[in-house]
Structure 1
């Protein structure tokens, strides 16, 4: 449990991620079209609306999105407020194939994340027009942690198209280890093989220079492209089109559970764990003692007479050795070095030293 607590504390220092689905909705509406005017005759004074611009043909294109909640009903009830669509977007571009000279208006709009930006659930583009147009939406996602696309040279070596910086450096380090590219003498030097030489632009590089070298081959991932046909006629679809995009997001629920575990480990809990450790150690020692006693009794039950004779002979020999009687030691035993590593050696040396000191302290005879 202590080891698991340490693992959780270490995991909290990183950002846990999970793959979720971001659903993007594209839709549009039209106003002031000729077929709409025919279906709804103008009232008296409507000609003034044309001059004010309210009856000029126009269309409104919308880009909206939300993160799908795949959790249980309980987690949905207790979840934190849902993130707005723009929080998943780093850059969004909407362009269409309308001639900009017809209505003297640009045929492209761009939204880019900046400091202090207000998050929103979607974007709207309003333009004048009475003809169908093809709309293209380019979305640059805001990944957490940030993801990068690899240049073709590095992609061929690592077989990775897009990943985080940490995973890319880890993959490169695994490639170096698998191909034994570390210098045998100086382990900080990396020797480039035929595939890495164009990337390093040298035969050897220092290990600490790898992140800086990798940065030259990292670039923003290509944007996600969504195509949409905007029709202004009476047959225009009344619904919307949906596109699902996989995105790496922070796993808020996992981080909350990990934080709860760490916070629950108070000083009293730590003392409880220490007491359980002591109880486990005492129980394990009791089990070992019981096993030794069981083995002793089993050997005795198999052949009591021979067991007693062998046990008495062993005790007698140990006593002679402890008392320093050389008759208890065989010559062949003295030729083996492991004989002097037996458990009784230290005790025998202590007894001999005690006898020597006692004899030295005795007064000479006649005094």
Structure 2
């Protein structure tokens, strides 16, 4: 006889609710695995027990159960790699399954390689990816002589038109950038003596709302050849700076980005061993550094601030051109090649690869199919073991199975007592039965008394 605070004995080494193995095969009937509706032994009532016969569940245990349920739900949402692995016993039964395990190992290596490449691509996208290209610049002009018989005023006055256009020297068919997208500003300076101080400059400057264009054109009245100067400022991304002459000679850099300039300075410091041996934060300036930074010693963290006065805007591209109005002059178009930096086309492909989710959905669908197939195989293995054990010893297997089901039922319903003893008459002739009857009637009387008192209280009010 077990007391109300005791739990039924569990075989050492077996988890709660586990079935007793028989001849190397797990116990259980064919069909859904254990955890659904429990099998009930013939003669036993439904597993719905009175609350008085169940053990009270402490609040701490309730919280633990809730946490376990949440964890199980999370694990159900994201199945792990281990769910795809076939058990060793199934692999022994089906030697051909080794091919599946080889594919699984190959998939794991492939996933690791793809993940590593994704990380490399993410790091590469953080750095500017540029390509050197040639931008061919076309400067042409046309002359429109005066026509006395013209009706409009424009045709009666001689004029010329200057065009500035350009394109990248690349394979046709690729996405082409507008000509103006390569420049930050364009200034055309005409002869001041011919057009005066207020009308001799034609300027274009980039603004946040600028509309890109394929070229620029300037039209002015005139019937004589004009000398002009074109000042083109490239739009560097990231911004580049021209170095102070002394610093440029020291580093061998004329125009570069701020990060490249600082990197070149650090390389110079390491090459000439200017870093302080005791305090690594400081740099001992040599004679060239002293001339440039005007101090014998400085912190490396101060260099970006000190560079501000040593970095100048880059020089513009200067082109001198003659606008000819001579009709016999055949050379009215000039071509110039300019080195520009453009975005690496591979960058857009890398970005689209990182943002692509179509393949991920297909892979997730295939993974779900694999999980379902593995679960089906495991279920078939349980059914096979059940039938195989039953065929070897039907009587012994049924007896062991009934014992296992009885234990499982008792653990699932958390019932106190032994149903096998309780179904015999001798069990109720024990000394405790008299006390149990007295307690039962006492509880019933108290319950009826409370109901009667409540009824009288309601009637009196």
TM range (shorter): 0.5 to 0.7
Is it true that 1:57 corresponds to 2:161 in the alignment?
no
Among candidates 243, 248, 259, match of residue 351 of structure 2: 259
Match of residue 205 from structure 2 = 112
Is it true that 1:224 corresponds to 2:317 in the alignment?
yes
Is it true that 1:215 corresponds to 2:308 in the alignment?
yes
Match of residue 204 from structure 1 = 297
1:121-171 CA distance string (max 9 Å, x none): 111111111111112111010112222111111112101111111111100
Among candidates 243, 265, 268, match of residue 336 of structure 2: 243
Match of residue 285 from structure 2 = 192
- Name whichever of 60-69 and 104-113 sits farther off: 104-113
- Asked if 2 retains the 8 angstrom alpha-carbon contact of 1:190 and 1:207, the reply is yes
Among candidates 227, 243, 249, match of residue 134 of structure 1: 227
Deviation at 1:119, TM superposition (A): 1.1
Structure having the higher Rg: 2
CA distance in 2, matches of 1:258, 1:229: 46
Is it true that 1:234 corresponds to 2:327 in the alignment?
yes
- Asked if 1 retains the 8 angstrom alpha-carbon contact of 2:229 and 2:319, the reply is yes
Cα 1:130–1:153 change in 2 (3 A) is same
Which ranges of structure 2 fall in alignment gaps of 5 or more residues? 1-112, 368-461
Among candidates 218, 223, 226, match of residue 125 of structure 1: 218
CA distance in 2, matches of 1:146, 1:105: 32
Match of residue 85 from structure 1 = 179
Is it true that 1:17 corresponds to 2:130 in the alignment?
yes
- SS at 2:287 equivalent: coil
Deviation at 1:97, TM superposition (A): 2.4
CA distance in 1, matches of 2:234, 2:161: 24
RMSD: 2.6
CA distance in 1, matches of 2:154, 2:272: 70
CA distance in 1, matches of 2:118, 2:268: 32
- SS at 2:306 equivalent: helix
1:1-367 maps to which residues of 2 (within 5 A)? 1=113, 2-33=115-146, 37=147, 46=149, 49=152, 52-70=153-171, 77=173, 79-80=174-175, 82-97=176-191, 99-100=193-194, 106-237=199-330, 240-251=333-344, 253-263=345-355, 266=360
CA distance in 1, matches of 2:197, 2:232: 26
CA distance in 1, matches of 2:305, 2:124: 26
Cα 1:17–1:112 change in 2 (3 A) is same
Which ranges of structure 1 fall in alignment gaps of 5 or more residues? 71-75, 273-367
TM-score (norm 1): 0.62
1:50-101 CA distance string (max 9 Å, x none): xx3431111111111122224xxxxx54x44x22111111111111225246
Cα 1:162–1:88 change in 2 (3 A) is same
The structure carrying a bigger strand percent of its residues is: 1
1:248-299 CA distance string (max 9 Å, x none): 1221x11023224435695969xx9xxxxxxxxxxxxxxxxxxxxxxxxxxx
Cα 1:231–1:211 change in 2 (3 A) is same
- Asked if 1 retains the 8 angstrom alpha-carbon contact of 2:242 and 2:314, the reply is yes
- SS at 2:207 equivalent: coil
- Asked if 1 retains the 8 angstrom alpha-carbon contact of 2:324 and 2:332, the reply is no
- Asked if 2 retains the 8 angstrom alpha-carbon contact of 1:100 and 1:106, the reply is no
CA distance in 1, matches of 2:119, 2:198: 60
CA distance in 2, matches of 1:131, 1:105: 19
CA distance in 2, matches of 1:175, 1:12: 28
Deviation at 1:216, TM superposition (A): 1.5
- SS at 1:25 equivalent: strand
Higher relative contact order (CA 8 A, sep 6+): 2
Deviation at 1:105, TM superposition (A): 6.2
Aligned length: 250
1:294-330 CA distance string (max 9 Å, x none): xxxxxxxxxxxxxxxxxxxxxxxxxxxxxxxxxxxxx
